[in-house]
Amino acid sequence: MAQSIVEAQSKAKAIVDNVEQVIIGKRDMIELAVIALLSRGHLLIEDAPGVGKTMLARSLAKSLDCSFKRIQFTPDMLPSDITGVSFYNQKAGDFEFRSGPIMAQIVLADEINRATPKVQSALLECMEEGQITVDGVTHKMPTPFHVLATQNPIEYEGTFPLPETQLDRFILRISIGYPSVADEISIMNHQQYHHPIEQLKHVITTGEMENLQNAVRDIFVDELIKEYIARLVTATRDNALIFLGASPRGSLSLFRTAQARALIHGRDFVLPDDVKALAIPVLAHRLIPRITDSSHDRSGKDIMHQILELVPVPGAQAR
């Protein structure tokens, strides 16, 4: 097991290193994005325009030897623009399915919150069940299948908030943030003559990616760690500041991503620190804060910070 963990860590690190050639100074965010992929989950990247959301998603896709499609969401899109349509082929004398851009292993859903909720809901079935249904016929998605979605803050003009059911489908939500002065200078230097993404090559194959995802499931999780995860999620349901807490899908997401983080750090077991590091990006976007006069400015992230301070961390237990 030790040797396979070393090999798996090396391959996961290769993805992070590759993406870091494009996204400079944001290694922690890149690692979270890779954790989402290793956990077989979908990633939501939320931030202001121009900070590298699309570049991060494209860099991840280019680092994997997978089929890739990009969907640029706009307010006038229709669900069929994503899923595809059935049309009558006069030569064949029968209906044929013409697949949409969602039928790819890596799908970049760019500015997803610029589309109407009806269009956004077209992604629900494929994100959760790995299939789409068009005109009563079900079509399986390719494997592996990952949606890397970007969105601008809701305050920006021309955006629609994602439904809670769709937010819950994203295993992680991350925010890149602005670069430091030194990193911004480095970005200018790297892009003076060409964009680094143009030279980016894939570093692992589709089969190696699936092997990494299988290795994540073998990471040991102690019963005390499982209880810690359950208590954190339960605390979101019993909090006076929260109208709607995290669902069991949130518990499973925190469980799986903690396993992936342990693998990236070269361990075959999960630590409480793995859970603490992932609790906010995994759970905060699943919470609906209660709006009151005293807590109108409390976000899910702020409340999760409080919960992490209140819920006791489990002590060490011999394996």
Domain with residue 237: its CATH number is 1.10.8.80
For residues 260 and 39, is the Cβ–Cβ distance under 8 A? Answer: yes
Identify the domain boundary among 218, 233, 266.
Answer: 218
Identify the domain boundary among 187, 218, 249.
Answer: 218
For residues 288 and 244, is the Cβ–Cβ distance under 8 A? Answer: yes
- CATH value at residue 93: 3.40.50.300
Q: What is the pLDDT of residues 44-76, one digit of tens each?
A: 998 888 888 888 888 988 898 888 888 999 888
Q: What is the pLDDT of residues 7-30, one digit of tens each?
A: 999 999 999 999 999 999 999 999
The contacts of residue 183 (CB under 8 Å, 6+ apart) are 24, 25
Q: Are residue 244 and residue 273 in the same domain, yes or no?
A: yes
Q: What are phi and psi of 303, to 5 degrees?
A: -70, -40
Domain count, the chain: 2
Q: Are residue 212 and residue 255 in the same domain, yes or no?
A: no
For residues 95 and 86, is the Cβ–Cβ distance under 8 A? Answer: yes
* Helix segments in 137-222, DSSP class H: 164-167, 181-190, 206-216
Q: Are residue 203 and residue 223 in the same domain, yes or no?
A: no
Q: Give the pLDDT score at 236.
A: 93
Spatial separation of the C-alpha atoms in residues 33 and 28, rounded to whole Å: 9
pTM value? Answer: 0.88
Q: Are residue 187 and residue 273 in the same domain, yes or no?
A: no
- Return the closest-CA partner of residue 254 out of 228, 220, 288: 228
Q: What is the pLDDT of residues 155-199, one digit of tens each?
A: 666 677 788 888 889 999 998 889 899 999 999 998 888 888 988
Q: What are phi and psi of 224, to 5 degrees?
A: -65, -35
Q: Are residue 189 and residue 179 in the same domain, yes or no?
A: yes
For residues 255 and 226, is the Cβ–Cβ distance under 8 A? Answer: yes
For residues 111 and 72, is the Cβ–Cβ distance under 8 A? Answer: yes
Lowest mean pLDDT among 84-88, 137-141, 144-148, 278-282: 84-88
Q: Are residue 238 and residue 268 in the same domain, yes or no?
A: yes
- Return the closest-CA partner of residue 51 out of 202, 213, 177: 177
- Return the closest-CA partner of residue 274 out of 235, 234, 219, 318: 219
Q: What are phi and psi of 4, to 5 degrees?
A: -65, -35
For residues 88 and 95, is the Cβ–Cβ distance under 8 A? Answer: yes
Q: Are residue 54 and residue 127 in the same domain, yes or no?
A: yes
Identify the domain boundary among 155, 190, 218.
Answer: 218
Q: Are residue 201 and residue 224 in the same domain, yes or no?
A: no
Q: Are residue 208 and residue 281 in the same domain, yes or no?
A: no
CB atoms within 10 A of CB 2: 8
For residues 245-256, average pLDDT: 94
Domain containing residue 118: 2-218
Spatial separation of the C-alpha atoms in residues 274 and 259, rounded to whole Å: 8
For residues 110-136, average pLDDT: 84
For residues 206-218, average pLDDT: 91
Q: Are residue 12 and residue 154 in the same domain, yes or no?
A: yes
CB atoms within 10 A of CB 96: 11
Q: Are residue 128 and residue 225 in the same domain, yes or no?
A: no
Q: Are residue 165 and residue 310 in the same domain, yes or no?
A: no
Spatial separation of the C-alpha atoms in residues 26 and 23, rounded to whole Å: 6
127 by Cβ neighbours in 10 Å (0-12 / 13-18 / 19+) ranks as: buried
